[in-house]
Homo-oligomer: A and B are copies of this chain.
Amino acid sequence: MKIGDFTIRIYVFVRSQEDSAMENIVTEKKAEESHRQDSADLLIFILLLTLTILTIWLFKHRRFRFLHETGLAMIYGLLVGVVLRYGIHVPRDVSNVTLSCHVNASPATLLVNVSGKFYEYTLKGEISANEVNDVQDNEMLRKVTFDPEVFFNILLPPIIFHAGYSLKRRHFFRNMGSILAYAFLGTVISCFIIGLLMYGCVMLMKQVGQLDGDFFFTDCLFFGAIVSATDPVTVLAIFNELQVDVDLYALLFGESVLNDAVAVVLSSSIVAYQPEGDNSHTFEVMAMLKSFGIFLGVFSGSFALGVATGVVTFTKLRDFQLLETALFFLMSWSTFLLAEACGFTGVVAVLFCGITQAHYTYNNLSPESQDRTKQLFELLNFLAENFIFSYMGLTLFTFQNHVFNPMFIVGAFLAVFLGRAANIYPLSFLLNLGRRNKIRSNFQHMMMFAGLRGAMTFALSIRDTATYARQMMFSTTLLVVFFTVWICGGGTTQMLSCQRIRVGVDSDQDNSVSVSLGSERRSTKQESAWLFRIWYNFDHNYLKPILTHSGPPLTATLPPCCGPLARFLTSPQAYENEGQLKDDDSDLILTDGDINLTYGDITVSTDGSGTHTSGGPAFAGATSDDLDRELTYGDHELVMRGTRLVLPMDDSEPPFTDPHHRLRM
């Protein structure tokens, strides 16, 4: 390694030379000045958030629904971005000195020896060549630009965790199959459709001569992956407020939560797609399989990690709420860090950690801590979300390397639309073949319409803006987010009334309402997800009693031969809880009716309808038909429970429209 090979050129901004006695003071003053500037920059964001909060309050007070807080945060961000860009010119007293010396690498750490003193420099990032001369002018703008990793490591985790923690579990599990289909299959379909369309678009641009840099097929696929993460926070807020149909809510929310995870892992797998040899960026089966393997590995690793730490948080610190909350908070954060340290995806781990903690750990917390943790994550989620959206607005003007290409933008909008359509409609058709309760076409249109892009898409696209292709993607992504949040988000109420989707549905009363209405009857167990149901039974009978104080005591669910073990593992509280279980737990387990189903082998229904459970262990040796009957029975049982108040009318109920449903089998 010869020194002569290296070339280094250093642009240094130095003040006019001072004598060494004053040098220290100057350095101190400079540091102080820079610290003040940093504080002022951060203050801008805090004030932006404050302004957003005040305006949201006004909107909520006046019941304006056309603009959600996130849309508002973007608008304020835009305005401040304009001011920073065009309004403020900070004169700087630095002179530009060009020096030459020799190195051929971009190490992470530089040690510079200035007249005997050593200074350490850390690598901040690459700067495009044509921009080097602007650096000093843009100091102000670059100051308000955060390290993109901030979004991934600080702002996204609380958002994702909160999403997992607040999944409406009953309705989520009821629609599990469809949600998984939309989230996994749908996102992959959308990614590849968008990728292919964009590749066509890029080819066309190359022909026309509108492309100024490289744009490979992997870049197109990457773009497909990042814009496939939907984030209908605006829509869901309105759904919540108007109490829109809970199943539609569950489908949309579940899909958006899970497809974030899929998109993250998908995009990192695409980045990892590196064909060997010289002919990079061409298709190669092995590399593709490797990418696929990485996808599966990272996803399942993150999933396992999240679930494992979620389960581990086995708090028994009931007496000290502060410790309990602190531990809960730290465990969820350490899940993220652990996953990242292992090379998995922290966001995915945190999501499943949140779901698991809501399912198990939540039951172990004291009631006060349950409130505390909920409120804490609600607050963190609120702040992080609004911060990201206002930063999005800001960055449209303050980001230095925007590449707006009209053809690419038009192509992207078209591709995003088609990709979403290719996700929703075919999958809904296929799912409807299996679902008892069809996803009607107005629901499908609503889901199509609610494909907003948000925080995750932004965070993924800003993470790497080094190359020309990535910069063009980033700029286009910003526009996609703006458009969907403002136009689609703002038009939600119009779309709801246009599609005649019921509003004002009380989720707890949902079943009885639908029964009484008759015409809108929907079976509670909507899919014959028998695999899931087996898991659920295992979970409810064995995992929950072991991991939490709720659920039936193990002594009741384990076979008699395991008596001593069961007594050892069951906590005293579980026995106390047994009586009130059905009330306490209703939000966390599938439905009350399922308790009867899973207790099937030991209890007999007390409902007055005269039906009884099939004897023996619930699933041992049961044929598929038996299972189906049992599930249908459990389902019916639930309807009974749900409609206990209208039970006398039960016999005079109109026949169900669903031919599969066997009443009083």
Interface, chain A (partner B; CB < 8 A): 1, 3, 5-17, 21, 25, 27-28, 30, 32, 34-37, 39-40, 42-43, 46-47, 49-50, 53-54, 56-57, 60-61, 94-95, 97, 99-129, 132, 135, 149, 271, 274, 278, 280, 317, 319-320, 322-323, 325-327, 329-331, 333-334, 337-338, 340-343, 346, 372, 375-376, 378-379, 382-383
Does A103 lie within 8 Å of B12, measured CB to CB?
yes
Contact residue among B5, B111, B341 (Cβ-Cβ distance under 8 Å from A132): B111
Does A341 lie within 8 Å of B129, measured CB to CB?
no
CB-CB under 8 A for A46 and B111, given A57-B317, A322-B378: no
Looking at the assembled complex, report how far the CB atom of A520 sits from the nearest CB atom of chain B, in whole angstroms: 33
Looking at the assembled complex, report how far the CB atom of A18 sits from the nearest CB atom of chain B, in whole angstroms: 10
Residues of B within 8 A of A128 (CB): 118
Residues of B within 8 A of A107 (CB): 12-14, 94
A57 to B125, CA, bound (A): 44
Contact residue among B57, B125, B378 (Cβ-Cβ distance under 8 Å from A119): B125
A-B contact pairs, 10 of them (CB 8 A): A3-B97, A7-B113, A8-B99, A10-B110, A28-B271, A34-B108, A103-B112, A111-B127, A330-B383, A372-B379
Copies of this chain, complex-wide, total 2
Residues of B within 8 A of A27 (CB): 106
Contact residue among B42, B101, B341 (Cβ-Cβ distance under 8 Å from A99): B101
Looking at the assembled complex, report how far the CB atom of A428 sits from the nearest CB atom of chain B, in whole angstroms: 34
Does B99 lie within 8 Å of A30, measured CB to CB?
no
Does B101 lie within 8 Å of A106, measured CB to CB?
no
Residues of B within 8 A of A271 (CB): 28
Does B53 lie within 8 Å of A327, measured CB to CB?
yes
Which residue, of A46, A47, A102, has the highest number of chain B Cβ atoms within 10 A? A46
Closest to A94 in B: B107
Looking at the assembled complex, report how far the CB atom of A84 sits from the nearest CB atom of chain B, in whole angstroms: 15
Looking at the assembled complex, report how far the CB atom of A318 sits from the nearest CB atom of chain B, in whole angstroms: 10
Does B108 lie within 8 Å of A112, measured CB to CB?
no
Residues of B within 8 A of A376 (CB): 375-376, 379
Does A129 lie within 8 Å of B118, measured CB to CB?
yes
Does A320 lie within 8 Å of B127, measured CB to CB?
no
Closest to A101 in B: B101
A61 to B50, CA, bound (A): 42
Residues of B within 8 A of A40 (CB): 337, 341
Does A334 lie within 8 Å of B100, measured CB to CB?
no
Does B36 lie within 8 Å of A343, measured CB to CB?
yes
Looking at the assembled complex, report how far the CB atom of A368 sits from the nearest CB atom of chain B, in whole angstroms: 9
A258 to B372, CA, bound (A): 30
Does A126 lie within 8 Å of B121, measured CB to CB?
no
